[in-house]
Structure 1
Amino acid sequence: MDFSSSSINFEALRKKAFNGRWATIPDGVIPLTAADPDFPMAPEIISGIADYLKDGYLSYGPFSGLDEFKISVSKHFNLRKHGTLAANDVLAVNSAAQGMFLVANYLLNPGDEAIILDPVDFLFKKTVEVCGGIIKLCKVNTLTAAIDMESLEGLITEKTKLISICNPHNPLGKIYDKEVLLQIATIAEKHNIWLMSDEIWSDIVYDDKDFHTFSSVSDYAAQHSFTVYGFSKTYGLAGLRIGAVICKNSAVMEDFIEKSNFNSTIEGVSTLSQIGASVALEKAWYWVEGFKKHLDYNRKMATAIINNSSILSTTLPEATFVIFPKITNGLSGDVFAKIALEKGKVAIVPGVERWFGVGAEGHVRICYSTSSELLEEGLNRIIKSF
């Protein structure tokens, strides 16, 4: 496996990589923005999709997802994340982002309150707002991602219906271990609140750290939580729009499927996307291991370069392939990112409320899922811009 610049098809990226990346930027700019790999997917995924098409049929699939997809996801969580899932605990959805919206829409009525972390990816806030819910922000330490459990419980009122967490955390790159998850589950049980855990980053974990899917930490967590998972980060399948919602409470899952319009032709996921995701889980883990070794090198290099500068400082991410350094030269995230783009020709994401919440100010997010050569050049361009 080759994760150098020579393995990247820049011509293809400039045609296909949108969302603030190669297809949307001027020539000469390096995008370290949206969390999407620059590398082509594992060859087994390509051949698996091609094999599925050989007979010439793309017929309707089961409303809740293909059996092979649901089995592959449940096996993956059971083998690598301490899960105890059955295939019927899994619903195929059109991306992890849609999964987050469906869960919020199912659990919240207008005026209901949902607790989310601050900072955290903007989708947590967006999905609550779309459902007419009221957001309560639980501040986390931007160095450690630590959650003050007293502060979390203090946000709970009679209107609180949902606590949502991001594990591993985007953009802080931290893992919430079993002990922390159990503390959250205990608070939720005390107040009879449902939980959602976004675990789209749970495959990109370093130093052999243990990861526990939320439903594994207690009986209450198993019966009162939804887990959201996706394939865009680990396998580079963002364009397939494929994800999963997981719930071990069978009665709730049946009701969720019905009320989310999957028992009809209104909702549903491309069978081709499900095949691609299933093949990824069954045959491409070796590729993920190679990718993680490359990312491990990149995260350490990025941390060293950043901390040797006079304008940024950071901690080493435990997971994900994004890093969230603090700006040390007094500039705002917006201004810093603008200078990096205009002078350094590097696109990064500013730490502003729109993207990560009010607690993100004074930071920028840098994605390092590119070649080591491009990453080093991009970081050095940023530093030389100030």
Structure 2
Amino acid sequence: MFSNNDINFEALKRKAYNGRWATLEDGIIPLTAADPDFRIAREIEQGIIEYLKDGYLSYGPFSGLPEFKKSVADHFNKEKFGSFSPENVLAVNSAAQGMFLIAAYVLSPGDEAIILDPVDFLFKKSVETAGGKVKLCPVDTITGNIDFEQLAALINPKTKLISICNPHNPLGKVYSAEVLRKVAEIASAHDLWVMSDEIWSDIIYDNRSFHTYSSVSEEAKKKSFTVYGFSKSFGIAGLRIGAVLCNDEEILADFTEKSNFNSTIEGVSTLSQIAGSLALERAKPWYKEFLKHLQSNRDFAYHLLSTSEIVTPNFPEATFVLFPKIENGLSSEAFAQHVLQQGKVAIVPGSERWFGKGAEGHIRICFSTSQEILEEGLNRMISSF
């Protein structure tokens, strides 16, 4: 189901944008944007067709279709130790939009937010777009561990928000309930909001358990938002569908109002919400096979890169990206440019632009493709030096 023969390269070259097949010259292998190379589950495809058969695409409820909200709440409660009701869920246009809306809700111009370093660039961008100032809390690029002393030291009267990425992109770290409780204790002591981006929480290896942030303590539940999306685990990035979850219904109602979701100014395509519900209710068998394939790719890529002498790979507990350390003295940008020009492989440099200052000296490699493509890409990268 996930071999080279299952990839429609013609379709990818027409449709896969964001640094992938449709944006690159022929002959270049993209191991870049975190988006699967495989077609979506048949259950999602057939369910969308079924939904369209009566010919109606009417307005849905402003906060989201009841079936969508229920399927997201059930998924978190069954798989992630959550305690959400459908009323705790707001449908949004992607996890990324959720992050931006939360920053806008929590921060006033000049307020400060603490984010991890390194971490995906959207954390910084969402804070700055809301007029806030970013404070970076270092994360160990090998272990993924948060520097809690530094986290506490960054807090001052202007601090309003701590944002975490769990599982962590690009380090692949899954934060334990114990670590999350420490974040909650610090946030609660200073009356801070916490945003937990959990878009990667379905892509977790070795049967490791995952605790959604608000599940770990009463403090965590009290003043937090959780962000979720479907693009990583179900490959429907183009449908722009995600969710914001909050255990406090009054807070979520206020958030929904202030984010303009109580009118037709905002709102999410009903078709996208149906796809999200189908993913969680019917496509789990496909997803489980996909996860097995990804774990096999992770192991394969780790072992291949471990003997390369050019980079030292990390061993992600989650996500389908690797974040190897460069060992040949090149900067992240120079390494990525060299591999693109000499090896015809596109990778993401660990530059400040994409992941923050702490990412320098690393590259990010996406492995949500066939093993054949992955092997060819990694061998090209290694032999280009």
- Please confirm whether the aligned pair reaches a TM-score higher than 0.5, indicating the same fold: yes
- SS of the residue corresponding to residue 243 of structure 2 reads strand
Partner of 1:264: 263
Give the 4+ runs in structure 1 shifted more than 2 A: none
SS of 1:255 mapped into structure 2? helix
3-state DSSP class of the match of 1:69? helix
1:128 maps to 2:123: no
Distance 1:356 1:49 in 2: 35
Equivalent in the alignment of 2:289: 290
In the comparison of the two structures, how many residue pairs are matched? 385
Alignment of 1:128-167 (within 5 A): 128-167=127-166
Q: What's the CA shift for 1:220? A: 1.5
The CA deviation at 1:64 is 0.1
Report the counterpart of residue 362 of structure 1 in structure 2: 361
Residue 173 of structure 2 aligns to a residue whose secondary structure is coil
How big is the shift at 1:221? Answer: 1.0
Alignment of 1:274-353 (within 5 A): 274-353=273-352
Q: In 2, distance between residues paired with 1:220 and 1:139?
A: 23
| Letter aligned with residue 234 of structure 1 | S
AA aligned to 1:154 is: A
- Helix, strand or coil at the partner of 2:378: helix
Q: Is the aligned partner of 1:59 residue 2:54?
A: no
Q: How does 1:72-87 map to 2 (within 5 A)?
A: 72-87=71-86
Alignment partner of 1:180 is 2:179: yes
Aligned-partner residue type, residue 120 of structure 1: V
Q: Deviations over 1:104-144 (max 9, x none)?
A: 00000000000000000000000000011010000100001
Partner of 2:15: 16
- Helix, strand or coil at the partner of 2:161: strand
- Name the amino acid aligned to 1:74: A
Q: Confirm or deny that 1:43 pairs with 2:48.
A: no
Matched, 1:114 2:113: yes
The amino acid across from 2:232 in the alignment is: K
How big is each residue's C-alpha offset from its partner over 1:35-73, in whole Å with a ceiling of 9 and x where there is no partner?
000000000000111111000000000000000000000
Aligned equivalents of 2:151, 2:285: Cα separation in 1: 39
Kindly provide the amino acid, as one letter, of the partner of residue 135 in structure 1: V
Structure 2, unaligned runs of 5 or more: none
> 2:116 is paired with a residue of what secondary structure?
strand
Q: In the TM superposition, what is the alpha-carbon distance from 1:29 to its structure 2 partner? A: 0.4
1:148 Cα deviation (Å)? 1.4
In 1, the alpha carbon distance for the partners of 2:11 and 2:98 equals 29
Query: Is the partner of 2:184 in helix, strand or coil?
Result: helix
Structure 1 residue 212 and structure 2 residue 211: aligned? yes
Q: Distance in 2 between matches of 1:360 and 1:151?
A: 18
Aligned-partner Cα distance in 2 for 1:214–1:86: 16
In structure 2, the partner of 1:377 is: 376
2:144 and 2:59 map into 1 onto residues whose CA distance is: 43
Deviation at 1:348, TM superposition (A): 0.2
Does 2:39 align with 1:25? Answer: no
Give the TM-score, by structure 2 length: 1.00
Partner-residue secondary structure (3-state), 2:113: strand
Distance in 2 (CA, whole Å) between partners of 1:35 and 1:315 is: 17
Aligned residue type for 1:65 = G
Residues in 2 aligned to 1:223 and 1:72: alpha-carbon distance in whole angstroms: 23
Letter matched to residue 265 of structure 1: T
Q: Which one-letter code corresponds to 1:175 in the other structure? A: V
- Name the SS for the 1:281 alignment partner: helix
User: Aligned equivalents of 1:304 and 1:379: distance in 2?
Assistant: 11
Give the partner amino acid of 2:287.
V
Deviation at 1:238, TM superposition (A): 0.3
Tell me which amino acid in the other structure corresponds to 1:214: Y
SS in 2 for 1:85: coil
**Corresponding residue SS for 2:82:** coil
The letter for the 2-side match of 1:382 is: M
Question: Aligned partners of 1:224, 1:316: CA distance in 2, in Å?
Answer: 33
- SS of residue in 2 equivalent to 1:64: coil
- Helix, strand or coil at the partner of 1:343: helix
The equivalent residue for 2:225 is: 226
SS in 1 for 2:343: coil
Secondary structure at 1:195 match in 2: strand
Once the two structures are superposed, residues 320-360 of structure 1 have per-residue CA deviations (whole angstroms, 9 ceiling, x without a partner) of: 00000000000000000001000100000000000000000
* Deviation of 1:316 (Å): 1.1
- In 2: Cα distance, 1:239 partner to 1:183 partner: 36
Task: Indicate the RMSD between aligned Cα atoms, in angstroms.
Answer: 0.4
Offset of residue 315 of structure 1:
2.1
Gaps of 5+ in 1: none
